[in-house]
Each structure stands twice: as C-alpha cells, then as structure tokens.
Structure 1
Amino acid sequence: MSKVLNVGVVGCGYWGPNLIRNFRSLPDCRMRTICDASEARLRHLKTLYPEVEAETKFENLLNDTTLDAIVIATPVRHHFPMAKSSLLAGKHTFIEKPLAASVAQCEELVDLAKKQGLILMVGHTFLYSPAVRKMKEIVDKGDIGEIRYISARRLNLGLFQKDINVAWDLAPHDISIILHIMNETPLRVNCQGTAHVTPGIEDVTSMSLSFTREKSAIIQSSWLDPKKIREMTIVGSERMIVYDDVAPQEKIKIFDVRVERPPHYDTFAEFHYAYHYGDMYSPYIKQDEPLKTECQHFLDCIRSGNTPITDGRRGLEIVRILEASSQSLKLHGAPIELPSAAKSSAGSSSSRSPVTDSSGSRSPLAVGAIKPIGDSANKAG
C-alpha cells in the first residue's frame, strides 16, 4: 500500500476550498492543515472538515516536519516568496497558476526545486480535463489535418483582481491548452487591452501568438462580459474542432468543413475556392473532475519522482508569454519577440513583477527577457 501523504493548503479564498475538497477525497492523501489569514474562513472550513488543523501563520506549515507537500492558492504576489520558502523547507510544492509574477522568479523556483530534488507543479487544471485530452488525441492523430489557427474566448463578469490584469488571470488557461495542442512555443506575442474599472489593470485584453509555419492563436479575455463564455476553436486544414467548456454535454464538436484552393488554373476567372461541408459529430467524453485528476497526479509524481505534466518549466513558459504580453500592452500592441529558453535564462536579472509592485505601480520588466520587434515597437511606445 502506498504511503499516505500529508498535505497542507495555504489560501482558503476562491479556489483553495476546491483544492482542499479534492485532496481530502483522495484515499492516499491526508488533508492535514489549512492556512489563511482570515479566521472566519478557517472557522467555516472547520465546520465542513472538523478533522483538519487550521493555522493563520504560514510559518507553522513550513516548520511542520510531518507535512510532505504544500499547496499554494494565494494571490499571485505571494506565489514566489511562499513557494521559495516551501521548497527551502523541503516540501513538494503545488502552486496555482500563474507560477509566479515574473520570468526571473519562475526560473529561480525551477532551479531551486531541481536543487532540492522536489516536485514543483503548477495548477494548469485544463490540461487534466477529459475534453482537452480528447482534443490533443484528435490533433496528434492528424484527424483535422495541419493546424492553421486557434481562437479562444474566456469571458465573464468579474472576478476583478487587484494585483494582476485579466490576461494574467484568465489567459493562462487558454495559453496552456494552446501550447499543449500546438506542441511548441510561440515566436512572438502581441497584446492590446483597456482598463475600464481599475486604472492600470486591464480588464479586457486581446492577445495574439505567432507560431512557425504561419500558425497563430488569438486569445480574448474579459472581466466585463455579461455572459460566461469558455470557448476555443481549432481550425485545421481538413476539419475543425469547437470546444465549449460551459456546455453540460457535447463539449467537443468536430466539423468536417474546410476551404480548398484549386491546384491549377490558367486565368483568374478560372480561380474558385472549393468549400467542403460535411458532417458534425461529438465524440464521447468520460466526465471526470479535472481538479481531482490534477491533485492525484501531484501525489503520484511525489511518489514516483516523475515530472508532472504541468511542471515548473511549463509554468515558466506561460509566464514568459504573459510577461511579453505586459510589455506589448505598454507599447500599444507592438509585437514582442520571445527568445529561446537558454537565451532568456541568461538575460533575466530581475525578480520584480511585470504587472505591479507593492505600491500598485507598474514594475520594470526583466532586463533582456523580451524585446520589441523592429522600429514599429519603438514608435508605438
């Protein structure tokens, strides 16, 4: 029988209770301690889980030698200091997305986890969704042909954040799915947005990612829409996939439609696009809770030493894109080139957040981490 792992969760606000519930439900896990600055939240959770210990001081989790792992579900500004302390205390560490507030912070956490021989995992929950796993299977089999572009919309009314903009809050979900489906990282990032409610914190953004072979992805994020939308379209050369995460059933629909251009023609008058309209079908998807699968995967990786699907390096890739989007926003949508991981690692020197610092003002970006492309970026600034 596998050893029962003792887990502590810090942050019992919006998402923390979901993590507590799922870890507690796993037979090979003991949900030992919950931690939050709010005693009222802790009292409420104690009524649901009376056997769980409650703490208001994070240091007590770090000093608890019986804890095998710490799960961090706090605001982004706390991710880096808490995760660093957790790793230094010898705890396997799970962090809700995004991994940290800058590329430099992510790189430090990744290096520290490797040095300590500990599992560092990021909560990109959608990669554990049966629907996303099915889409990945369909794409990898070549059933839709070559990907041409992906478009994603993640819209709702709130929840407004105070330390990150809507791109940092909502886009990580779509970015993680897109990188997983594309199986590559983008070459450049463009991002435009507007702050309607809180000055300096964009609540509506549109991000564009450019990949090799003219592939692209567009991500629209908003806290200002009346209707909750979680939709992604993958356009292939042979077929197209529409993924609607809000739909109670048939979350994935595959459309046998495409556009073809004639291979040979002598005059422009002979040129005609061919539109193919075929059937639509929805594959069967087993309904499992992605968060429960993700929590189990974290425990399994602790026991086996295997690298998580959403490890620290995957989290770093996504923060690199988010950091580039922040610079593009400052430059009114100018394209920002993404360097290779090795080049970026050598160039990053700042651990300050690209979004806001403790005073609420914009912080400088990591030196050398990302750069504008061409003269248009300088003019845009």
Structure 2
Amino acid sequence: MSHTPMTPVRVAALGLGYWGPNLARAWSGLEDAELAWLCDLDSGKLERFARQFPEARVTSDLDEVLADPAVEAVSVATSAPTHAALALRAIEAGKHVFVEKPLALTSSDARTMSAAADKAGLLMVVGHLLVHHPAVAKLKELVDAGELGRTHYLYTNRVNLGQVRSDENALWSLGAHDISVLLHLVGELPEAVSAQGQCFIHEGIEDVVFGVLRFPSGVIAHLHLSWMDPFKMRRVTIVGSDKMAVFDDMNADEKVKIFNKGVTHSGNGNGQPWQPASYGEYVQLRHGDTYIPRISSEEPLRIQCRHFVRCVRGLEVPRSDAAQGLAVVEVLEALQRSLDEGGSVVPFDASLLRA
C-alpha cells in the first residue's frame, strides 16, 4: 500500500501482557513508526522482549517514558481497569494515545479521557481492531453503496469453548469487538438495547450473553457471546432487502461471501392496487449466485497501527476515535443494565454522547 512519506512517529508500548507484545511487534515493523520504549511492571517480561526488540529502551517506570520528549505517542495495552489512569497520565505529558479496547470500564471515565485529549489538542484512538479488518471494510463498502439493498438486520457470533474469565462476564470480555463493528456498519447509534444471559461457571459472571440493539432506522442487530460453546465462531451476517453477506473470520480463504438471495414482493407493474390469488403468488423467494470477493490478506493490526501514526501526522482521520470508544462503552453499560434487570429494554439516549 503506497502512501505519503512521513517522519516516523516514536511510540512507547505500555503493557506486555496478552496483547501488548503484538502492538510492540506492529510498531517495530512499520516504516512510519519507531518503537522507542517498552514499559511493564514485570521485569521478566521486559528482559524477554528487550531481546526481541533491541531498538527499544525498557523500563518499569512510566514517568521515565513520559519524561522523554522524543516520545510522541504511547499505546496502552494493560488491564482494562488501568486504561483511564494511564491514558490520562500520557495526555498530561503531551503524548498522543492509542488505548486498547474497551476505552474504559465506565462512560464517566471515557468522557474524562476524551475531554482531556480534546483540551490538550491530542489524538486518542481506541483499538477496535475489527473496524480495520479488510473484510469489515468490504462489508461497509457493500452497505454504503447499497449493494445489499436496505439493511434489514445483522447478527454476530463470537463464541468458543475456553478463555473462561473470573473477573468479567462474556459481555465485557467479548462484546466490544462486535458492538464496534455493528455501530460501524449501521452508521448510527441504537435507540434501545436489551440483553439476557446466564451464569453457569462462576456465580454473578455471565458465561453466555444474547444482546439486541434496535436502531432508529428500523435496523435490528443481535449478538451471541459465549465461552461455553462447541464451536469457535467469529462471524458477522448482514441481511439486506436485495442481498445478504457474511464475514467469517475463521475461514482463511473465503472471508466474505455475498449471497444473491432474498424475498421478492410481486406486483401488477402498472401502479394499481393488486390482489394476489395467494400469499405464495405475492411473496417469492430468490436464490441467486454466491459471490466471493477478493479480500486483502494484510494483517488488520498492521493496518490499524499504520492508520494511527498517520492520524498523528494529520494524514488520515481516525476510524475509531474517542467518540466511537465512548459509544461502545455506553452500549456495553446499557446492555449490562438490561442484564441486571433480567432482560428489560433499556432506552439509549444518543444525544448524551454529543453533550
């Protein structure tokens, strides 16, 4: 992918746990970035990754990183409860910030972070990785171009057997991925949400969650989140009035399929009222061809990190900025409220996000 040459952005990677090393690898491998620091409280991890990324300085002292005037940006890939505090410290030090999802665990913290970045004139983006996936980009292209017709509904499946958590439920552990994609594809915020789940392994921690988002346009979306399932699925399905499309992230060769299938309403063709002889005469099922478009195999993480540093340079507009991060946290909170209330419908006031 060609793009305008630019001075590399010096990035410090905070956190070397589950996802942090992947970010460090991405920063290290980009022409447009320079991995300047690795920071983690675990000396063993610092020693290990210092060998892997010899160009980076290492420290367990965040102040040392933030005091380096050459550092322009930091990536925060620590435990979710620490995101807000670390991001705010980086912003106070004048650094642009990349925060792994979720942006924060409360909308209050997310608002504080967003306001601080705005006041300082700094960039803050959220690691909603799937928004940068070439397959999701293709779905967005299809939706925006009207290729699928009018979107009727969407649903996502993010399930597996394993990765059982004892500190957060399936909604908060898995939901941010799919909520970010749904909001991105639909292009609007929901007007109401609801969710139901069940705790089978740990009391008070839902292992499976079913969520519903209703949008002002009439689109409805469904999420299935679970770490107790016989299948490993990472799938997004869009059903439109003309065609249907599926993104299957577990399929290495056929990430996206477009189905020329739908329901056709018959008419008399002259604009006059028409009375069908039977319901079958009025509604006809259409089974057309299946099309598999070519999807770039470039790693989404690389795309995301390159996008961030180009946004730092003002060359691109963020796809998942603080506003999107806040929206996802607000939806998660509303779904959690519904879970706590046994599945009640929770109105979603999108105007509050613009307040």
Shorter-normalised TM-score: what interval?
Answer: over 0.9
Q: Pick one of 210, 222, 228 that aligns with 2:226.
A: 222
Match of 1:248 among 235, 245, 252: 252
- Aligned-pair CA distance for 1:327: 0.4
Hey, which bits of structure 1, 4+ residues long, moved more than 3 A? Answer: 160-163, 261-264, 266-272, 343-346
Following TM superposition, by how much is the alpha carbon of 1:344 offset from its aligned partner in structure 2, in angstroms? Answer: 5.4
Task: State how 1:131-142 maps to structure 2 within 5 Å.
Answer: 131-142=135-146
Show the counterpart of 2:88. Answer: 84
1:260 Cα deviation from its structure 2 partner: 2.7
Name 1:319's counterpart in structure 2. Answer: 329
Correspondence 1:153-232 to 2 at 5 A: 153-232=157-236
Deviations 1:160-189 (CA, angstroms, capped at 9, x unpaired):
344432112211111111111111111111
> Deviation at 1:250?
1.2
2:285 aligned residue (245, 265, 275): 275
Residues 1:37 and 1:195: Cα distance change in structure 2 (over 3 Å): farther
Q: Secondary structure at the match of 1:14?
A: coil
What residue ranges of structure 2 are gaps of 5+ in the alignment?
268-273
Q: 1:119 aligns with which of 120, 123, 130?
A: 123
Give the Cα–Cα distance (whole angstroms) in 2 for the partners of residues 162 and 78 of structure 1.
17
Once the 2 structures are TM-superposed, how far is the Cα of residue 221 of structure 1 from its aligned partner?
A: 0.6
Q: Alpha-carbon deviation of 1:271?
A: 5.8
Give, in whole Å, the separation in 1 of the partners of 2:227 and 2:62.
Answer: 31
Change (3 A) 1:141 1:38: same
Alpha-carbon distance in 2 for matches of 1:269, 1:106: 51
Correspondence for 2:133: 129
Question: Which letter does structure 2 place at the counterpart of 1:115?
Answer: K
Could you tell me how far apart the structure 2 residues matched to 1:197 and 1:229 are? 21
Secondary structure at the aligned position of 1:231 is classed as strand
Distance 2:234 2:300 in 1: 15
1:50 aligns to 2:60 (yes or no): no
SS of the residue corresponding to residue 296 of structure 2 reads coil
Contact 1:76–1:163 (Cα < 8 Å) also in 2: no
Equivalent in the alignment of 1:339: 349
Identity between Structure 1 and Structure 2 (%): 36
In 1: Cα distance, 2:166 partner to 2:14 partner = 19
Aligned-partner SS, 1:278: strand
Give the distance between the partners of 2:235 and 2:151, measured in 1 at CA: 17
SS state at 1:177 partner: helix
Q: Describe the SS at the equivalent of 2:205.
A: coil
Contact 2:189–2:350 under 8 Å retained in 1: no
- Is the contact between residue 326 and residue 353 of structure 2 (CA under 8 Å) also seen in structure 1? no
For the residues of structure 2 that align with 1:94 and 1:109, how far apart are their CA atoms?
A: 12
Distance in 2 between the 1:82 and 1:229 partners? 33
Which residue of 15, 22, 25 corresponds with 2:26?
A: 22
Instruction: Indicate yes or no: 2:319 matched with 1:309.
Output: yes
Separation in 2 of the partners of 1:114 and 1:211? 28
Contact kept? 1:243, 1:252, Cα under 8 Å: yes
Letter in structure 2 aligned against 1:156: N
In structure 1, give the amino acid aligned to 2:145.
K
Q: TM-score, normalised by structure 2?
A: 0.92
- Deviation (angstroms), 1:117: 0.5
> Contact between 1:36 and 1:42, CA under 8 Å: does it hold in 2?
yes
SS of residue paired to 1:291: helix
Distance in 2 between residues matched to 1:21 and 1:6, nearest whole Å: 14
Matched, 1:296 2:306: yes
Which amino acid letter does the alignment assign opposite residue 253 of structure 2?
Q
How far does residue 53 in structure 1 lie from its aligned partner after superposition? 1.7
Alpha-carbon distance between aligned partners in 2 of 1:86 and 1:29, rounded to the nearest angstrom: 18
Q: Which residue in the other structure is 2:240 paired with?
A: 236
* Distance in 2, Cα, partners of 1:198 & 1:165: 9
Unaligned runs of 5+ in 1: 347-381
Q: Which of 278, 284, 292 does residue 294 from structure 2 map onto?
A: 284
1:212 is paired with a residue of what secondary structure? coil
TM-score, normalized by length of structure 1?
A: 0.86
After superposition, the CA RMSD in angstroms is 1.8
The structural deviation recorded for 1:270 is 7.0
Letter in 2 for 1:322: L
Residues 256-302 of structure 1: per-residue CA shift (max 9 Å, x gap): 11123444326666765211111111011121111101101111111
Deviations 1:102-127 (A, max 9, x none): 11111111111110010000001111
Residue identity matched to 2:299: E
Distance across 1 between alignment mates of 2:230 and 2:68: 45
CA distance in 2: counterparts of 1:233 and 1:149, whole angstroms: 8
Q: Identify the residue that residue 354 of structure 1 maps to in structure 2.
A: none
Q: What is the CA–CA distance in structure 2 between the aligned matches of 1:305 and 1:285, rounded to whole Å?
A: 24
Q: Once the two structures are superposed, what CA deviation does each residue of 1:229-279 show, in whole Å capped at 9, x if it has no partner? A: 101110000110011011011111011111234443266667652111111
- In the alignment, the residues of structure 1 paired with residue 196 and residue 135 of structure 2 have an alpha-carbon distance, to the nearest angstrom, of 29
Q: 1:95 aligns with which of 91, 96, 99?
A: 99
